Structure 1
Amino acid sequence: MKPSLLPTSLLAALLLSACAKDDDPQAQLPLETRTGANTIGCLVNGQLWTPKGYNGTLNYTVSYDRTYRKGTLNVGTYRYIGKGADDYQMVGFYADSIPSTGTYSLAIPDHHEGIFLDRTGTCQFPGNDPYFRKGQLTITRLDMQAGIVSGTFWFTLYKPGCDSIRVTNGRFDKKL
């Protein structure tokens, strides 16, 4: 009787799929949670982006003020990508008129904007800058009693002379 090749083939397929997940940036993102898990992650131009490093301040902050501009949310995070003090990137966004869960634009200058800074490059997108932007923020939980804000986000930034910045598959979950 010939031994079956199915178990060997099945084992090889499982090993290959496990390796593929390690190479898939989207599979490495933090889960979309709404529990105050203190997580954030996104893809920046298709590459995994999560906070990394410490410069004396928290590398991930979220604030929400329900009384300012009908509810103002600020999310900021940074990661070190080199050894120097200025070798870092920052991803963030802010939006006002966020009174509850829902979907909001991230393309209204001075009110709803995505931000990307790369201190190692020449192109910065700090907000309040006259360049093209589009994007969306979805608040999935805004619970002031529990002190939790969670959601998803994406945005694209472009200005002449710079590569476009595409922030996709963003998710955050933070205890305020």
Structure 2
Amino acid sequence: MSRIGRKEILIPHNIKVSINENKIFVKGNKGQLSYKFSKLIEIEIKNNIIKLTKTKKTQEAQAIHGLSRSIVNNMIQGISEGFEKKLVIEGVGYRSQIEGKSLILNMGYSHPVKIEPPENINIKVENNTNIIISGINKETVGQIAATIKSVRPPEPYKGKGIRYENEIVKRKVGKAGK
């Protein structure tokens, strides 16, 4: 079994954490996040340290214990440092651009694909082929990156498409000529 839920979370000095019934609020200079946790979990704050404990000893409580700890830790890390995902576009004629706040992708389709980011997500484009997605919520940053990648995932023969920066695309051997 995982013991992630037992780990304590240190609160940086520039972040304020408050608990109201079953909701935890994290506020800092980058923004504010909240999370409604289960009644199977108790959260207590002492001396800039957050500790999560289970109220029952069930398998569901154990699973939610580790999940809640990870979510609260990601909230604090997001408010203090932020999260970032980088995507790379490979292929002749494939490019991206920013128009207002929305991202426009020209990926070889008969029409450009327009993606509207949520309010706390910033998208930057460098060299028309590098996309940087940043924000304070790890879940939404990853979801937007996955949505952008799903427009044209990398294909295994030439490697064309959208991939994460350090992602390795396994290549297949093409047809053998006679």
Q: TM-score normalised to the size of structure 1?
A: 0.25
Which fold has the larger relative contact order, with Cα–Cα distance below 8 Å and residues 6 or more apart in sequence? Answer: 1
Q: Greater helix share, 1 or 2?
A: 2
